[in-house]
Amino acid sequence: MSPALSEYAGEDFQQSPEKNLFGKYELGKLLGYGAFAKVYHGWDIESEQSVAIKAFNKQRIIKGGLTGHVKREISAMRRLHHPNIVRLQEVLANQKKIYFVLEFAKGGELFSKVVKSRFSEDLSRRYFQQLISAVGYCHSRGVYHRDLKPENLLLDENWNLKVSDFGLSSVTDPNQSDMVLHTMCGTPAYVAPEILAKKGYDGAKVDIWSCGIILYVLNSGYLPFNDPNLMVMYRKIYKGEYRVPKWTSPELKRFMARLLDTNPDTRITVDEIMDDPWFKVGYKDAEFGSGYFEMKDEGEEEMGRVGNLNAFDIISYSSGYNLSGLFDEQDAGEMFLSTVAPEDIIERIVDAAEDEKLTVVMKKNWCVKVDGGLYRNFTLLVQVKRLTEEIVVVEVRWRECESEPGLDIWKDRLRPVLRNLIHKPDGVVTSN
């Protein structure tokens, strides 16, 4: 992870995070930090397994207009379940922080290994094969990383490669062809020439270019395009001016020339890479063990998504777990969390409404609608949606004309009866 000390200078960087997260994880030492987040070593309390915990300052994300980066990372990683991609296990939040719980890569960054000594051609090929396996998988699911570099490639305890950090990724419909992207992004030394031209570009071709840079670095120990003057370096990239080390085999030299083709239209594709003689030596397809599964449909088993609720939308646009203010302006509304079973919540609401002589006009699955009864011009709609296995979100909307001065049917009559349904996670304050 590239250092960006200025992002965390001052009080915020010095403050220690909570050591216990929701009774589920323990935070350990700081592993690294970047432009938007800090990453800690952590432990799953129940399984006693190591995890990596990526912590975002929620207010900085929202106020800095960085919501899109975090949402893209969730959107990308919830689609991806591959042995060579770091897995996103869970998304958590309190009032101040958003936490990604990630698979822990014990071997650290690939970058720290290659800066010590360049790799042999065989070892370079092995890691490049794993990289392309992961990148091809991403592209088949409409995810384009757009910031591939050795600092974003990690190693597990068996020294297998793991692609990480999808904060600059682009997520598209994998079935839609001719997708043209226009966002200027990526790390300068790895950026493709078509991005420098500030024209529309193919996200897949941009990733292939970065893979070519990575292969060059693995084989040589240094960058193909590098200069203290950024404009000079960009000029070299745009023209494709680089030198191949003398120890490079003719087969690898030819292969890298296809990867670092400045013309994206003729640049090699993932399918062509996998058919290349140099690449195919000793190549084996990734094996999906029991810990991995193919995503059958975007709507099934998605990480960070439950029903039609996006977990990040909930935690990022609300203050802690007080989830009010997310309804249409014409209706009053609020949301709260509960650990009570959805069916029991609905029954409790029905009982409370009937006790107040209100009329239940609709009750279906995890939704109930109540009309005024004795209180004319009052309508209440309650819907329960699952957020995690243990926690549900209760959405409440109501509209009323006061039947008595100062009377609020929901807040004064119904909500007090249902107060004990509300879940308050540790360290979170909700306003009642």
Quick: pLDDT tens for 155-180: 998 999 999 876 544 434 344 443 33
Taking 50 as the threshold, does the pLDDT of residue 363 lie above it?
yes
Q: Is the pLDDT of residue 86 over 80?
A: yes
Q: Which residues of 79-104 are buried (b: 16+ CB within 10 A; e: fewer)?
A: bbbbbbbbbbbbbbbbbbbbbbbbbb
- Are 56 and 97 a contacting pair, CB within 8 Å? yes
pLDDT of residue 180: 38
Residues 207/134, Cβ–Cβ less than 8 Å: no
Of 71-75, 135-139, 197-201, which has the strongest mean pLDDT?
135-139
Q: Is 223 helix (H, G, I), strand (E, B) or coil?
A: coil
Q: Mean per-residue pLDDT for 284-289?
A: 67
Do 5-104 and 318-421 fold alike per CATH? no
Please name the fold of domain 5-104. Answer: Phosphorylase Kinase; domain 1 (3.30.200)
- Answer whether residue 211 shows pLDDT above 80: yes
**DSSP per-residue codes, 68-106:** HHHHHHHHHHTT---TTBPPEEEEEE-SSEEEEEEE--T
For the packed helices 250-259 and 203-220, what is the interaxial angle rounded to 10 degrees? 150
Eight-state DSSP code of residue 319: B
Boundaries of every domain in the chain: 5-104, 108-280, 318-421
Beta bridge partners of 399: 379
pLDDT in tens, 244-257: 999 999 999 999 99
The CATH homologous superfamily for domain 108-280 is: Transferase(Phosphotransferase) domain 1 (1.10.510.10)
Token pair in block for residue 158: 């068996």
pLDDT digits (tens, 9 = 90+) for 377-414: 778 888 888 766 677 778 888 876 555 545 677 878 88
Q: Is the pLDDT assigned to residue 222 strictly greater than 60?
A: yes
The catalytic residue positions are: 147
* Domain 318-421 part of CATH 3.30.310.80: yes
